[in-house]
Structure 1
Amino acid sequence: MLQASSVALSYGDQLLFDDISLTLNAGERVGLIGENGSGKTSLLRVLAGEVAPTTGEVQRTGRVAYLTQQAGELAGTVIEAVKPAPLRAAAQRYAQATAALESGTPAALSEFTEAEESYRLSGGYDFEVQAESVLAALGLDAGAQAGALSGGQTRRLLLAALLLSPAETYLLDEPTNHLDAAGLAWLEGWIQASPAAFVFASHDRAFLDAVSTHTAELERGRLTVYPAPYTEAMELRAVQRAAQERDFEAYRRKRAALEDAKSRVHSVARSAGQFNHKRAGNVPMLPAKNRAQAASQTLARQARALERRIERLDTVAAAKPYTDHRRLTLDLPPIAPGPLDVLRVEGLTVQRGEKTVLDGLNLHLRRGEKVALVGENGAGKSTLLRAILGELPHRGRVVWGAGLSLYAAGQNGEELAGFETLADALLDANDTLTPHQLYEITAQLFLPPPHTPIAHLSGGQRTRLSLARLSVTRAQVLLLDEPTNHLDPQMVDVLEDVLRDYAGTVLLATHDRRLIERVAGRVVEVGHLTT
């Protein structure tokens, strides 16, 4: 279906990736992973033909459909917006041919027959039923105006349009963004049942495990393909890297031994070549000198032989395996325990205009609990978090435990707004950090120095800064809204470690099933909290 051969892409002097080869056959589903900024979206655009590679080539068989992360301007109703372009053209021709039948001419009848056949082959008679089924599964109203949709709804609209466009190869960039549990289950089933080939960049590890047959990791400009879903692929990678580490250590020890032997032989050779007549005793001078020179030459040949062995060893040496050291290891004071009752919400009601988003909601949090809020899109998870923080008008009681300190983070890193430098953002999370610790944090997470303006950070660097703030905060309560948004799987693993080790109380709204499974001690569904 698709074959990339020795593909490289550069922007100016920056080489994004190099020597990438990928063969995609019908029915194969490749999960594309890599850290933020590694070039996953750029690689998908090259595979789709939207960007020409700097070197190499991509061969495609059949139609390729590409789901981008950005939407253009949308007009008309939702069902009109998801109608494929070939079907729209066929429908227009069919309508014109139908109107022309009034002339009664043979040419008009012939054109009507051809137009009707084209419309039928384009799926015109079945499209509306199929489209309404897909739109309903993704939580979209077929008759709504496309231009009035929210950001999340627009994202699902793009996904629906793609799924309704027949193709042999689908390239999906973060297809699970803004999908609730029902939408995710539907998408997984659709992909699993499709005979097409897929490449999808995603941070959703449960989704990758459910649908992928292969995992392709884009790391430091190179692509490594594992013949397994995400979790199994990461286990295979760990085994391979452990073997590489052993091979590299064996090479390093052998090289060090040869270098030591070469150094000793060189030393002895120099000593042997320096003839001392006082040490020759009563032996004739000339033979003694010749023997010393011969010994020196022999030792020099041995040293050159050792040098050649080192050179041969270097040519076949195991490469030093890459190790991701992005973990914070700071000696920070423990979090103060705080009161036993952290939060009590009674009869919380929130309205937006004439719509009631939350109605009579009750919730109780105790010290040390880690609670995940789940629910369909629009159920009110983000609204609940904002209401208990006092950011939205509401009715009912919200009572926090006395003296508690809170840390809140939004879906898109909104908590970084208003800070000028990395140091400002980190000190806001923990004002006891010393200048030395600020430099430790930025170095351990591969961030620029603390005095760097936040405006100069890349998207991946902003993500790591948010994780750093979360790691160092001494707040007793964390309120997190979709904390895995925009995180690559490696950074989600870091987030899991942070939340598992956190001694305080956590309330998070998330669709990430793996995060819920590994972190949450209790799951509550918004929409079912009124009792």
Structure 2
Amino acid sequence: MLTATSVALTYGDHTVFNDITFSLNPGERLGLIGENGSGKTSLLRVLAGELAPTAGEVRVSGRVAYLPQQAGDPTGSVLDAVQPSALRQAAQHYAQATAALHTARPAALNAFAEAEETYRQVGGYEFEAQAGTVLDALALDPQAAAAELSGGQTRRLLLARLLLSPADVYLLDEPTNHLDAAGLAWLEGWITASPAAFVLVSHDRAFLDAVSTQTAELERGTLAVYPAPYTAAMDLKAVQRVAQERDHAAYRRKRAALDEERRRSASRARSAAQYNHKRAPDGDKFVTRSKAQNSQNVHASTSQRLEQQIARLDAQATAKPFDDRRRLTLDLPPLPPGPSEVLRVEDLTVQRGERTVLDGLNLHLRRGDKVALVGENGAGKSTLLRAILGELPYTGRVVWGAGLTMYSAGQGGEELSGLGTLAEALLAANPHLTPHQLHEIAAQLFLPAPTTPTEQLSGGQRTRLSLARLSVTRAQVLLLDEPTNHLDAPMVDVLEDVLRGYTGTVLLATHDRRLVERVAGQVWEVGGDRVDVQ
């Protein structure tokens, strides 16, 4: 159904990926993961036929539907925007013919009958039922003006349009963005019930575990495919990495031994060639010269044979595993404990225009608490975080513990704005870092020199820098708004480990179910201007 064979993509001297080979059959679902900037979206575009590969070929049997991360602005009503073009034209003719019925003329009746028959034949009535189900599941009003939708609603509309376009292969780039819990559960059910093949790019680990049958990781231009959903695939990768490291170490040892033996043989051959047989007694000069020549030949032959052995060994060698450039290992002193009472919120009310977003909240945080703020999009999670940080006006009281240090990060990564260099960004998180530690962090995470301006960093480098700041901060409170936004799935694993190992207090707004399960000790559900503490 979908086959990629030796696919490569290059731009000038830059290779995005090379020798990509895999196949998908009906009902198989491939979760595609990889660091931001690794080429996942480019690979989807190649599979969709939007981008021509530099080498190799892609073969698709059947219809392909592609959901990019960004698309043009839809027009008309929501229902109009999700209709296929042929059906939209039939629906328009049907509506016009219906409107003309008031004339009661025979021609109008005939036109109505023809328009209704055409609408029925192109599947109009079936589509209405399907569209109603899909739009309801994605919390979209069919009659709403598409041009007036929010960014999140527009993204859901594009997803609805794709799901309502019958296809044999679906290519979905971050389909879970802007979905609430109900919409996410519905989408998982829709995908797993479909007989089509899927390639799914997502940072949502629980989603990938729920729907994918295979996992492919695009890492530094190569694609590794594992026959399992995300979590099991990462476990398999870890096992394979241990074996790969062991085999590579054995190869290096054997190669070093052969190379040392080759050097010794080559050295002996050179010594034999340089031997001065004229120093031998007159009667032994011929014999001595012959022995020296034989010795030179033997050692040269041995050296050549060993070179051939080394070449064969190199050809069959196990490659060195990629260094993990996501995780930071640094010896830092423990956090200062700070006050036992971290935050007290009393009768907090926040209004945005005429709307009361939060009303009369009373909340309490103690040292070491790790709290997840959950709720539907627009429920007020970000509003609560910004209010307690003093970034939004409110009534009531917000009391922070005396002497607390805080670290906050918003949804868009704006915490890096205004920080000129990589070193400045790290020192803003921890002023006690030494120059040696700054270079060590950059080296471990494959970041450029600490003097590099942050504006020159790639998306993947900025992500690694943000996680490094979280790893080294000496702040006693972390306030994080959707920290998994713009992270790939393995990076979310790293974030999870950082937060689990952090000994201070954490308050984070997140839609990531796995992160909530594994990090949060409490859950505050925001909705209906209230916060339900669980």
Relative to the length of structure 1, the TM-score reads 0.93
Answer yes or no: is the 8 Å Cα contact 1:373–1:525 preserved in 2: yes
Residue in 2 that maps onto 1:261: 261
TM alignment of 1:416-435, pairs within 5 A: 416-435=416-435
Answer yes or no: is the 8 Å Cα contact 1:273–1:296 preserved in 2: yes
Equivalent-residue separation in structure 1 for 2:279 and 2:497 (angstroms):
70
SS in 2 for 1:141: coil
Answer yes or no: is the 8 Å Cα contact 1:65–1:165 preserved in 2: yes
> Structure 1 residue 324 and structure 2 residue 324: aligned?
yes
Residue in 2 that maps onto 1:301: 301
Give how far 1:281 is off: 7.2
Answer yes or no: is the 8 Å Cα contact 1:248–1:320 preserved in 2: yes
Give how far 1:152 is off: 1.9
Answer yes or no: is the 8 Å Cα contact 1:17–1:39 preserved in 2: yes
Q: Which amino acid aligns with 1:150?
A: S
CA distances 1:26-64 after superposition (whole Å, capped 9, x unpaired): 111111111100111111111112222223332333321
CA distances 1:340-386 after superposition (whole Å, capped 9, x unpaired): 11111122221212222112222211101111111122221111111
Answer yes or no: is the 8 Å Cα contact 2:343–2:399 preserved in 1: yes
Give how far 1:115 is off: 4.5
Residue in 2 that maps onto 1:409: 409
Give how far 1:81 is off: 2.4
Residue in 1 that maps onto 2:466: 466
Give how far 1:239 is off: 2.3
Give how far 1:201 is off: 0.4
Equivalent-residue separation in structure 1 for 2:453 and 2:60 (angstroms):
44
Q: Which amino acid aligns with 2:398?
A: V
Residue in 1 that maps onto 2:391: 391
Equivalent-residue separation in structure 2 for 1:374 and 1:144 (angstroms):
27
Cα distance, 1:399–1:9 mapped onto 2, change above 3 Å: same
Residue in 1 that maps onto 2:441: 441
CA distances 1:448-476 after superposition (whole Å, capped 9, x unpaired): 22222222222222212211221221111
Give how far 1:214 is off: 1.0
> Structure 1 residue 475 and structure 2 residue 475: aligned?
yes
Cα distance, 1:122–1:420 mapped onto 2, change above 3 Å: farther
Cα distance, 1:274–1:461 mapped onto 2, change above 3 Å: closer
Answer yes or no: is the 8 Å Cα contact 2:500–2:519 preserved in 1: yes
Give how far 1:277 is off: 6.2
Equivalent-residue separation in structure 2 for 1:238 and 1:295 (angstroms):
50
Equivalent-residue separation in structure 1 for 2:174 and 2:339 (angstroms):
41
Answer yes or no: is the 8 Å Cα contact 1:262–1:306 preserved in 2: yes
Answer yes or no: is the 8 Å Cα contact 1:471–1:498 preserved in 2: yes
> Structure 1 residue 87 and structure 2 residue 87: aligned?
yes
TM alignment of 1:10-409, pairs within 5 A: 10-95=10-95, 104=106, 109=110, 115-275=115-275, 284-409=284-409
Query: Mean Cα displacement is larger for which, 218-227 or 276-285?
Result: 276-285
State percent identity of aligned pairs: 72
Q: Which amino acid aligns with 1:15?
A: T
Query: Mean Cα displacement is larger for which, 507-516 or 260-269?
Result: 260-269
Answer yes or no: is the 8 Å Cα contact 1:269–1:300 preserved in 2: yes
Q: Which amino acid aligns with 1:324?
A: D
Answer yes or no: is the 8 Å Cα contact 2:525–2:532 preserved in 1: no
Equivalent-residue separation in structure 1 for 2:57 and 2:277 (angstroms):
73
Equivalent-residue separation in structure 1 for 2:82 and 2:157 (angstroms):
7
SS in 1 for 2:72: coil
Equivalent-residue separation in structure 2 for 1:275 and 1:35 (angstroms):
60
Q: Which amino acid aligns with 1:203?
A: H
Aligned length: 529
SS in 1 for 2:531: coil
TM alignment of 1:486-497, pairs within 5 A: 486-497=486-497
SS in 2 for 1:500: helix
Give how far 1:126 is off: 3.3
Q: Which amino acid aligns with 1:207?
A: F
Answer yes or no: is the 8 Å Cα contact 2:32–2:217 preserved in 1: yes
CA distances 1:469-509 after superposition (whole Å, capped 9, x unpaired): 21221111000011011101221122112111211100001
Answer yes or no: is the 8 Å Cα contact 2:476–2:504 preserved in 1: yes
CA distances 1:316-363 after superposition (whole Å, capped 9, x unpaired): 222222221432223333211111111111222212122221122222
Cα distance, 1:58–1:347 mapped onto 2, change above 3 Å: same
Give how far 1:276 is off: 5.9
Residue in 1 that maps onto 2:2: 2
Equivalent-residue separation in structure 2 for 1:55 and 1:435 (angstroms):
44
Give how far 1:88 is off: 0.5
Give how far 1:284 is off: 3.4
Equivalent-residue separation in structure 2 for 1:98 and 1:376 (angstroms):
40
Equivalent-residue separation in structure 2 for 1:435 and 1:284 (angstroms):
68
CA distances 1:391-432 after superposition (whole Å, capped 9, x unpaired): 111122211111111111011102122222222322222222
Relative to the length of structure 2, the TM-score reads 0.92
SS in 2 for 1:59: strand
Query: Mean Cα displacement is larger for which, 198-207 or 274-283?
Result: 274-283
Equivalent-residue separation in structure 2 for 1:321 and 1:128 (angstroms):
52
CA distances 1:265-319 after superposition (whole Å, capped 9, x unpaired): 2333344445466986797332233233223322322222222222222222222
Equivalent-residue separation in structure 2 for 1:168 and 1:118 (angstroms):
25
CA distances 1:42-93 after superposition (whole Å, capped 9, x unpaired): 1111111222222333233332111111142233332332223232122124
CA distances 1:134-166 after superposition (whole Å, capped 9, x unpaired): 223222333333222222222222212222222
Answer yes or no: is the 8 Å Cα contact 2:524–2:532 preserved in 1: no
Superposition RMSD in Å: 2.5
Unaligned runs of 5+ in 1: none
Query: Mean Cα displacement is larger for which, 6-15 or 345-354?
Result: 6-15
Answer yes or no: is the 8 Å Cα contact 1:32–1:201 preserved in 2: yes
Answer yes or no: is the 8 Å Cα contact 2:79–2:131 preserved in 1: yes
Answer yes or no: is the 8 Å Cα contact 2:343–2:364 preserved in 1: yes
SS in 2 for 1:526: strand
Answer yes or no: is the 8 Å Cα contact 2:33–2:202 preserved in 1: yes
Answer yes or no: is the 8 Å Cα contact 2:346–2:361 preserved in 1: yes
Answer yes or no: is the 8 Å Cα contact 2:438–2:450 preserved in 1: yes
SS in 1 for 2:407: strand
Answer yes or no: is the 8 Å Cα contact 1:361–1:530 preserved in 2: no
